[in-house]
Chain A
């Protein structure tokens, strides 16, 4: 049986997730239950959505350093406008998605480095969030709260949501013609251009889609936390990049994997729980998270080598 390379790409992140999960279950058998799993993966949903958003940007060879600030901004909008007057909230979100499309166009037309433009935008989103919620507060809209805390039978919400996100984005990015174009821009802009497609439109569309997923991430986050704060999701910038890489994505070349990205996000979330079960002193919690990241990436290198040896044989 021949296994496609994209499947092999998925095996490594999936194996590391399974390994980590097994370690957690070994240390805390009580986690092996509906409630336990829900608690373990609860915060994974917003991180997975932000990771998918980052993955889209990385598919066109760009990098979004404003992801954390933007998700925080969306969380603030959710906890204030979307809750009090949904129509205005939706309008703000549409405006924000349009702003993402404009950023994509500006980066493309002026050939600017995406890192710098999004760095500038991170200040803008952060400022807007501070204007809306100078101090932590606001309230989650009832439906977002209901959605995030609902308890479907057998499988916890967090896992159902992750699977839905992974499947929807998989079909949108890996199986649709639009998805091929997005990855094509990352792989070889010139060939996409010569084939008669408008690269500027593709880039604008990709950015808008990324903005859309980031908006969902903000809503999901507030649904879990019930209130928002201007700095609530700042670490999502680095988490989302790490999630994409853990999931087998690459910085250049349009090589991304939506399912892998979601698995990467789950792994990162689980790493946090794993550490609290280990009862490491709080001083070393962050450091151990770094060590886990290194170990998982080392594992990936090892498996990549095995795969290469297999091929050359």
Chain B
């Protein structure tokens, strides 16, 4: 009994419950024929949301007003630049990844410089930054669609023991993020800053350094995700990141991370990412048109938050 209560008190349990419910409903409709394919597709696409969601989660944990809107532009630029640099050569795969990571590093620093030096609210700072990044991506891309190197393309699209490789990468990143959040002083610091920046500063936590690292972390995760997504989909496109703006915020919040900051939750991001993908595919299997699909997606998001929202008032 205590076990069950312990489980129910975890905020992420709701997103997983919803995911399982949606999965069962979808599989029932197709008569169980698609269960393996559906699960694999869900894991693959959820993995991309998880990777960007992790970065966004760290940023949101920093407290009210902290949101990184440059995620989609960063993904696009990283995807285009990496593919252009690798130029279909297998030997350049590692170099491409390193350049992606460096790019994320630069963007993260740029974001925080704007926030700190110009005292711009993070939403506006990252928004302005994203305009500049997007322009750079347009300039680099020039409408060319360069294919990813052979080995990288097959790595991102294949499975290991039935589990998509991308999902394994996302899992490894999640474990690292979990260790970072729960077991290191850095994780304690960002939670402390999110709960009260003033108190954190008074206790001698290096607030600025911690925030800088967090924005860098978010940008680097977004670049890695862009690199993988471009390789997975056989080329970078200028709008490839656009749906991940809302997605990265939605999975974090549905997953049970407090929007007010100071309390984050990694398993919930997985639950929410799987849930978001499965809802769309469920509505697709039931044959809804685009309009109804959007409306139902919205209503389901709100319903999940309404159901799970009780926990926020206990605080």
Q: Name A's B-contacting residues (CB within 8 A).
A: 65, 106, 110-113, 115-117, 119-131, 134, 238, 241-242, 245, 251-252, 281, 283-291, 293-294, 297-298, 301
Pairwise interchain contact A115-B259, C-beta atoms closer than 8 A? yes
Contact between chains at A113 and B259 (CB < 8 Å): yes
B293 / chain A contacts, CB cutoff of 8 Å = 127
Given contacts A112-B312, A124-B295, A130-B291, contact A290 B301 (CB under 8 A): no
Provide the residues of chain A in CB contact with B121, threshold 8 Å. 245, 251
| Contact mask for chain B residues 56-74; partner A; CB cutoff 8 A; 1 contact, 0 none | 0000000011010100000
Within 8 A of A (CB), among B192-230: none
**In residues 264-300 of chain B, which contact A (Cβ within 8 Å)?**
289-299
Q: Say whether, besides A113-B259, A293-B124, A301-B119, A288 and B294 are in contact (CB < 8 Å).
A: no
Are A293 and B131 interface neighbours, CB within 8 A?
yes
**Given the complex of chains A and B, what is the CA–CA distance between A268 and B299 in angstroms?**
33
Residue among A112, A122, A298 with the highest chain B CB neighbour number at 10 A: A112
Residues of the B chain whose Cβ atoms lie less than 8 Å from the Cβ of A117: 302, 305
Number of A-B contacts (CB under 8 A): 139
> Interface size (B, Cβ < 8 Å)?
50
| B residues near A281, Cβ cutoff 8 Å | 139
A127 to B292, CA, bound (A): 6
Cβ of B249 within 8 Å of any chain A Cβ, yes or no, is yes
Q: Which of B103-154 contact A (CB under 8 A)?
A: 114, 118-121, 123-125, 127-136, 138-139
Contacts A110-B309, A112-B309, A290-B130 known; list 13 others, CB within 8 Å.
Answer: A110-B313, A116-B249, A116-B250, A116-B305, A121-B302, A124-B299, A127-B297, A130-B291, A131-B289, A284-B139, A285-B135, A286-B138, A297-B124
Residue in A106, A130, A251, A298 whose CB lies within 8 Å of B294? A130
A127 touching B132, Cβ below 8 Å: no
Residues in A with CB closer than 8 Å to B298 are 120-127
Alpha-carbon separation in the docked complex, A281 to B297 (Å): 39
Interface contact B295-A127, CB-CB below 8 Å: yes
Bound-complex Cα distance A116 to B292 (A) = 20
CA distance A241 to B127 in the complex (A): 10
Closest Cβ–Cβ distance, residue A160 to chain B (whole Å): 29
29 A-B pairs with CB atoms under 8 Å apart are: A65-B246, A106-B306, A111-B309, A111-B313, A112-B306, A113-B253, A116-B250, A116-B301, A117-B305, A119-B246, A119-B253, A124-B299, A125-B298, A127-B291, A127-B292, A127-B296, A128-B295, A130-B294, A131-B292, A238-B127, A242-B127, A245-B124, A251-B65, A252-B65, A286-B135, A291-B128, A293-B131, A294-B118, A297-B124
